[in-house]
Structure 1
Amino acid sequence: MASSLIDHLVEYRGIESNYTDAWGKPAIIDPLTKQKLLGVMGYEVADPTKLKSQADDDINKVWLSPLNPVQVLRAGEAIQLSLRLPIELVNDQYLFTITTEQGETLCHSLTPVDEQLINIAHIDDVEFQEYLIQIPLELPLGYHQLSLSIDGDEIAAMRLIMAPKSCYKPQTIIDGNKVWGLSVQLYCLRSEQNWGIGDFSDLSYLLEKVAKQGAHFVGLNPIHALYPANPDACSPYGPSSRRWLNFIYIDVTALDGYQAIETQNIVNSESFKQTLAAARAQELVDYPAVTGLKLRALSTVFDYQNSQYLSKNTKLNKAFKAFIAEGGESLQTLAVYDALQEDLAAQGKPAWGWPVFPAEFSDFKQPAVAKFTKKNAHRVKFFLWLQWQAAQQLAAANEVAVANKMCIGLYRDLAVGVSEGSAEIWGNKDLYCTSASVGAPPDILGPLGQNWGLPPMDPEKLYQQQYQPIIDLFSSNMKATGALRIDHVMALLRLWWVVKGDSAKQGGYVYYPVDDLLAILALESHKNQSLVIGEDLGTVPEEIRDKLADNGVYSYRVFFFEQAKDGGFYSPAHYPTQSMSTLTTHDMPTLTGYWHCYDLELGKELGLYPTEEILQALFISRHSNKQAILDTLHSHNSVGDEVGYDVNYVGMSQQLNFGMQKHMASGSSELLSLQLEDWLQMDKPVNIPGTFKEYPNWQRKLTRNLQGIFDDPMLNELAFSLTEARKNAST
């Protein structure tokens, strides 16, 4: 009985039993892994009696709820709902009242017994019947509330979501135009003005310059909120909150109050100037130094604005309060978390994240947290203000793109999760399975598998919360942008869960309500007029590729992965039009690094390859791949005779580098993204997957200032040739 019950729960909770790996071979999930996954979801798998009780509770919970928490529909679909009632109530007349997002009220009454009976159950000797209800009303797109009542008393409610059939596309793309842009790690940008890290003013400058060269977007790394009190936790893919911004990108010098005497006294002190000069000169971003500099200066700017505007009945204060109100509990959670973490760190207490906070602070809703918030109201307000300023500067950068008529402008990157000690989990622990982490099974990029240290959302809890957390994520990350790139977009279908203590290859797949999530993505895409790009690399089931294409989500096509079985590289002219093509990504070597095998040499030094045989096979494969690349470049006339034909005698050169970029620009993908690092012919990667302290991930800066980049005639010529190639590739 226990075995069959576990099998039932495995299927019920969407735990996969087998899958196709990255090499196209069938793989089976260990039965013990499936039991462990049930365990991290809260099931008492070691106690058959308790497990049976939990399974019964799951069933009873559904039957004792007249309506589901949420129903997602597509435009043009009939409204069909499940209604569950005790048998003695099915002959009564009920009123369905729908309040649309637009404020309209629609009503429909019916008697359940007149509808289609689809299921029967017995709970505590009471028969329940389930009916498929048809509501003959037409709803606009949006988030609507449905109320079920009898004789004027509401007995149940649910959310109705009406979504478009596919995601938004700009008209210029629909008209057949193909565009290009740059992908950058914002923190990597150097400039004459920034404080040792790229900022939103640098972003505005970059947007204006590339727009004049014919580019239509600048893609960013995730700019999610990290940890002001723990600046060494700098991975943009391990954030504290994905709804809010990393304050470190604020340009302090652009704020009202920077010129105030209190701030000037700080920034003009010798110690401050010396630290700033050192931070600017470093080849790597010095996160602790930059964070310290910005927090000191921002604190005094805030004190100025607080006394001048934010404690009075001013327009600015009204705007600030409106921002706080719109941010709701999520924003308040982050601000309180940042203030609390800062306070604990100042006291020398463990503070890397809520798992090590004192017990009374382990949850946002604890009474001690409310007491702390009241006592430290000024500092909490400061962290709220930081988010407001960051949002305003990001919006200002987006306005530069709009003013320069970029059809996309900014595109943001949505990380797949938040780190274990994050504010996002601290504020909604019920949603996350904190005894597991998401990652990836063994694949070409990570032969040992990957564990990203990001606790997964429980798909059942997400459903019970009416998908609000995912709605908030999509909506907030599409604000002030023209596109959203979703990292590891397969997460909409399934995620590789790894139980704490297990290796990455001992994990298993858990499925998510992909059709509902894609519908919500399409709705938010239209609400925000934001194109959507899905990073679909690694172990990708065909079903998700088809679903993404049908939903208007752009595929992500990396040149080095687009190989035929004979080893040759597909021409970019054969890529899907609904795709964003690129040469490399932040998880891959630069063009120079790839060509000279620096990534393989680094991997060897860092112990990333299980055996010498695997490493040597990779070197041999790389050598043949480089020859195939030369063959395809020459056959398409993308490079001239100045680039040799024999890989044994061809090193990376500017002609080869630029030729590869122009080769991509002639392709059929509607979007082309190129890395600024490759414009500068850099050799070091920004990130090496599978490493933590072994390599300075997310710290390497660009080798040149932005001003110097756009004063370089060769780079300007490259940019204009890319624009011309994209025009020629357009229909």
Structure 2
Amino acid sequence: MNAALQQRALAAGIEVAWTDAQGQPRLLAADTIDALLQVLGSHAAGDDPALRVVVAGAPLGMPERPREAFCLDTRRHVPLLHDAQGRVHAPDHPGHYLLQLGSREQHLAVAPARCYGVADLASRSSERAWGVSAQVYGLRRSDDGGLGDNQAVAAVGRHVAAAGGDAIALSPLHAATPPDEGFSPYSPSHRAWLDTLQIAPAQVAGTEALHDALERSGQLQAWVQSERSPLIDWHAQDTMRHRLWTSLRQGWGQQPEVRSAFDAFLREAGDSLYPHALFAAHQRLARTRGESTDWRHWDSDWADPDSALVQDFAQRHASAVEHECFLQWLAAQCWQHTQAQLLGSGQRIGLIWDLATGFEPGGSEAWQHRGLVVQDAHIGAPPDAFNPDGQDWGLAAYAPASLQRSGYAPLRTLLDRMMSRGGGLRIDHILGWSRLWFVPAGMSPRDGGYVRYPLHDLLGLLALASWRHRCLVIGEDLGTVPVDLRQTLADHGVYGMDVLQFTRDAQGAFVPPARWRTHAVAMSSTHDLPPLAGWRAGTDLGALSRVHAWNSQEQAMALRRRHHDVEQLDRMLQGFPASSPAQAALRAVAESAAPLALFPLEDVLAERQQPNLPGTTPAQHPNWRRRLSWRVPRLDATLRWIARHRRTRAHG
């Protein structure tokens, strides 16, 4: 490889050499390096960081010797410690500070050593924490209009709390583009704002106000019919609920006390909500007209939010923009009620929110922060055993240098918003906080490359937000994991994920739960895997065989491998007597060494179909559309079983 090209790549944060999922060393091709340098070219690093992130009490390592810092949280000046070597140390109390360094100011984020964790929760004798995870859209309740919502979450949460559980982990609930059949909760329009479909306004407005809006909007028949469908029609749900929520705002939303609460929300949101509401209103209009919802296909003047065209739209469609703001207030109120109900029922954590890795290149977040976003490249994953061709997720991400130059402003806002809504945050693909696989436009995912991110700065900001909101943090650390990353995450108080099907030793044997990590969350499965019952039956193999047109030999080979895995698992589960292999698996996860265990509702209810089959299209598999039928006796019995064995620590 050309030495000069290699130096340019390293300076831009591109990993020229890396190790693949099979442990084999790899070198990036010159064409990949050239393409990555091109897409990163407009994101050069600045000389002075807008924000320095340090651990509380640590040496600052700067030539200047300021005597004090101004705390932005308390609005007070704080003296700084100077040690015997003359080094200046950061304040002992975490928070945000300003340092006066001659004629310039330096913003300082002082972080705690680790994130808030399970051990910091209010104690409940010696019990270890546990809960369930749920695909919110798929939950059912009476009068839900065919889509799961926060009220259904609250109902499940009450059963979990009654059994002694502490949490309910959610599928992502970010603000979305008006959805079509290819909807995915992991492809959001804006991650800092909320989805406005999966909510139950009756929790805030009352059932009478909702039913009145149903009558006036003409959506009553569609509402009732939607409840009978086993699969969600996202486009139909969006159309129906948009009309219904509009009617609700025009009626109940005009009451003086409602207007007063909404106005208070707008004042608190400041200027941050308006750009998203403006963008969402234009997206809604574009969808109604049959036009693209991707801002990159709009009039070129939309690239400048201060342009006359954008300002004219804001004036002519002021009511539509205010409606989007109203929906954000309504969604925030609904989830605030749900979190209060869960904590009031005895849960110590309540809602665990899910943060998607990236966002739509044509969505609201990319539009608002377009100067910080990598253009002409998507993020994804390199080839591995499950995806030999690699993955292109079609998502955008921030350029590390530009994110750093902004003082990490979008990330700090995102963490504060999400952590303020619950007691936990799951970060999807936290490997991306260390490095992200970028696929330049026109290239195969196999020909992508890793770009490094300022991991220690990001983890410091994460810890600071975590303690500020008393919110524990889970990082999905599955996939091609860099050396020492799991230990680094553990050192910063970020829990990894130990998933039953993946927790094996170097020879492929299942690791007994007593040897699972004490700094990870134990799980029986995830949304990208078949539930335990489906995995044992090979349900996913039948679907994959149809999608990929396997021949009889390939089908037989996949079945043999699965039978071998099931036999291996059953050997490990012999130490966990139960009435069925599924219950033995739940017992094993419950008795694991992990401080927190989460059980997908699909496993609790012995379902076979998985929410998402990665690598498939809507025509091939109903991803993110399945509705879950939960029966109270079975739910309660399984939750009590889990609780009983969660009180037991596995041995041996």
Provide TM-score, normalisation by structure 1: 0.83
1:49 corresponds in structure 2 to none
User: Shift of the alpha carbon at 1:103?
Assistant: 0.4
User: Shift of the alpha carbon at 1:11?
Assistant: 0.9
Deviations 1:186-216 (A, max 9, x none): 0000111211111111111111121001211
User: Shift of the alpha carbon at 1:72?
Assistant: 0.7
Seen in structure 2, the aligned counterparts of structure 1 residues 444 and 173 have a Cα distance that, compared at 3 Å, is farther
Q: Do 2:604 and 2:639's aligned partners in 1 also have CA atoms closer than 8 Å?
A: no
- What secondary structure, in the 3-state scheme, does the structure 1 residue paired with 2:116 have? coil
Instruction: Tell which structure's C-alpha radius of gyration is larger.
Output: 1
Counterparts of 2:335 and 2:423, CA distance in 1: 12
User: Shift of the alpha carbon at 1:360?
Assistant: 2.3
Seen in structure 2, the aligned counterparts of structure 1 residues 632 and 431 have a Cα distance that, compared at 3 Å, is same
1:601 corresponds in structure 2 to 542
Seen in structure 2, the aligned counterparts of structure 1 residues 730 and 147 have a Cα distance that, compared at 3 Å, is farther
Counterparts of 1:353 and 1:201, CA distance in 2: 32
1:225 aligns with 2:175: yes
2:205 corresponds in structure 1 to 256
- What secondary structure, in the 3-state scheme, does the structure 2 residue paired with 1:6 have? helix
Seen in structure 2, the aligned counterparts of structure 1 residues 266 and 718 have a Cα distance that, compared at 3 Å, is closer
The 5 Å alignment of 1:606-645 reads: 606-607=547-548, 617-634=557-574, 636-639=575-578
1:700 aligns with 2:626: yes
1:371 aligns with 2:318: no
1:656 corresponds in structure 2 to 581
User: Shift of the alpha carbon at 1:723?
Assistant: 0.7
Deviations 1:563-615 (A, max 9, x none): 22333211111101121111210011122221122212211221288x98776
2:427 corresponds in structure 1 to 486
- What secondary structure, in the 3-state scheme, does the structure 1 residue paired with 2:205 have? coil
Counterparts of 1:699 and 1:195, CA distance in 2: 14
- What secondary structure, in the 3-state scheme, does the structure 1 residue paired with 2:359 have? coil
User: Shift of the alpha carbon at 1:410?
Assistant: 1.0
User: Shift of the alpha carbon at 1:679?
Assistant: 2.5
Q: Which moved more, 1:719-728 or 1:272-281?
A: 272-281
Seen in structure 2, the aligned counterparts of structure 1 residues 614 and 516 have a Cα distance that, compared at 3 Å, is farther
Counterparts of 2:344 and 2:14, CA distance in 1: 48
User: Shift of the alpha carbon at 1:282?
Assistant: 0.9
2:38 corresponds in structure 1 to 39
1:716 aligns with 2:636: yes
User: Shift of the alpha carbon at 1:165?
Assistant: 0.1
Seen in structure 2, the aligned counterparts of structure 1 residues 364 and 606 have a Cα distance that, compared at 3 Å, is farther
Q: Which moved more, 1:355-364 or 1:580-589?
A: 355-364
2:402 corresponds in structure 1 to 461
User: Shift of the alpha carbon at 1:78?
Assistant: 2.1
Q: Pick from 96, 111, 115: which aligns with 1:167?
A: 115
Seen in structure 2, the aligned counterparts of structure 1 residues 102 and 5 have a Cα distance that, compared at 3 Å, is farther
1:210 aligns with 2:142: no
Seen in structure 2, the aligned counterparts of structure 1 residues 135 and 699 have a Cα distance that, compared at 3 Å, is same
Q: Pick from 276, 282, 305: which aligns with 1:334?
A: 276
Counterparts of 1:197 and 1:381, CA distance in 2: 25
Q: Do 2:90 and 2:110's aligned partners in 1 also have CA atoms closer than 8 Å?
A: no
User: Shift of the alpha carbon at 1:80?
Assistant: 2.9
The 5 Å alignment of 1:168-317 reads: 168-170=116-118, 171-172=120-121, 177-228=127-178, 230-232=179-181, 234-256=183-205, 259=208, 264=211, 267-268=214-215, 272-309=219-256, 316-317=258-259
Letter aligned with residue 356 of structure 1: H
Counterparts of 1:559 and 1:373, CA distance in 2: 51
Counterparts of 1:371 and 1:591, CA distance in 2: 54
1:98 corresponds in structure 2 to 70
User: Shift of the alpha carbon at 1:442?
Assistant: 1.3
1:10 aligns with 2:23: no
User: Shift of the alpha carbon at 1:258?
Assistant: 6.5
Q: Do 2:203 and 2:334's aligned partners in 1 also have CA atoms closer than 8 Å?
A: no
Letter aligned with residue 723 of structure 1: A
Deviations 1:228-257 (A, max 9, x none): 3x4445211000011011000221333438
User: Shift of the alpha carbon at 1:35?
Assistant: 1.3
The 5 Å alignment of 1:676-687 reads: 676-687=601-612
Q: Do 1:486 and 1:533's aligned partners in 2 also have CA atoms closer than 8 Å?
A: yes
1:71 corresponds in structure 2 to 52
Q: Which moved more, 1:208-217 or 1:616-625?
A: 616-625
Seen in structure 2, the aligned counterparts of structure 1 residues 519 and 137 have a Cα distance that, compared at 3 Å, is closer
Letter aligned with residue 631 of structure 1: R
1:422 aligns with 2:363: yes
User: Shift of the alpha carbon at 1:107?
Assistant: 7.5
Counterparts of 1:97 and 1:575, CA distance in 2: 43
1:157 aligns with 2:102: no
Q: Do 2:80 and 2:91's aligned partners in 1 also have CA atoms closer than 8 Å?
A: no
The 5 Å alignment of 1:351-370 reads: 351-370=292-311
Counterparts of 1:347 and 1:682, CA distance in 2: 40
1:391 corresponds in structure 2 to 332
- What secondary structure, in the 3-state scheme, does the structure 2 residue paired with 1:247 have? coil
User: Shift of the alpha carbon at 1:161?
Assistant: 0.4
Seen in structure 2, the aligned counterparts of structure 1 residues 258 and 400 have a Cα distance that, compared at 3 Å, is closer
Q: Do 2:68 and 2:77's aligned partners in 1 also have CA atoms closer than 8 Å?
A: no
Seen in structure 2, the aligned counterparts of structure 1 residues 279 and 472 have a Cα distance that, compared at 3 Å, is same
User: Shift of the alpha carbon at 1:487?
Assistant: 0.4
Percent identity over the alignment?
Answer: 30
Q: Do 1:75 and 1:162's aligned partners in 2 also have CA atoms closer than 8 Å?
A: yes
2:285 corresponds in structure 1 to 343
Counterparts of 2:457 and 2:363, CA distance in 1: 26
Counterparts of 2:226 and 2:81, CA distance in 1: 68
Seen in structure 2, the aligned counterparts of structure 1 residues 306 and 405 have a Cα distance that, compared at 3 Å, is closer
Equivalences, count:
647
Q: Do 1:167 and 1:532's aligned partners in 2 also have CA atoms closer than 8 Å?
A: yes
Counterparts of 1:7 and 1:563, CA distance in 2: 37
Counterparts of 2:405 and 2:223, CA distance in 1: 49
Seen in structure 2, the aligned counterparts of structure 1 residues 484 and 168 have a Cα distance that, compared at 3 Å, is same
User: Shift of the alpha carbon at 1:421?
Assistant: 1.2
Deviations 1:361-389 (A, max 9, x none): 24434331122112211111110010111
- What secondary structure, in the 3-state scheme, does the structure 2 residue paired with 1:344 have? helix
Seen in structure 2, the aligned counterparts of structure 1 residues 94 and 82 have a Cα distance that, compared at 3 Å, is closer
Letter aligned with residue 39 of structure 1: Q
Deviations 1:643-670 (A, max 9, x none): xxxxxxxxxxxx2222211121121111
User: Shift of the alpha carbon at 1:436?
Assistant: 0.8
1:530 aligns with 2:471: yes
Q: Which runs of 5+ in 1 are unaligned?
A: 44-53, 84-92, 111-115, 117-132, 150-154, 641-654
Q: Do 1:252 and 1:297's aligned partners in 2 also have CA atoms closer than 8 Å?
A: no
Q: Which moved more, 1:442-451 or 1:470-479?
A: 442-451
Seen in structure 2, the aligned counterparts of structure 1 residues 97 and 169 have a Cα distance that, compared at 3 Å, is closer
1:729 aligns with 2:646: no
Q: Do 1:416 and 1:488's aligned partners in 2 also have CA atoms closer than 8 Å?
A: yes
- What secondary structure, in the 3-state scheme, does the structure 2 residue paired with 1:525 have? helix
Provide TM-score, normalisation by structure 2: 0.93
- What RMSD, in angstroms, separates the aligned Cα atoms of the two structures? 2.8
Counterparts of 2:486 and 2:81, CA distance in 1: 41
- What secondary structure, in the 3-state scheme, does the structure 1 residue paired with 2:219 have? helix
Q: Do 2:57 and 2:90's aligned partners in 1 also have CA atoms closer than 8 Å?
A: no
2:263 corresponds in structure 1 to 321
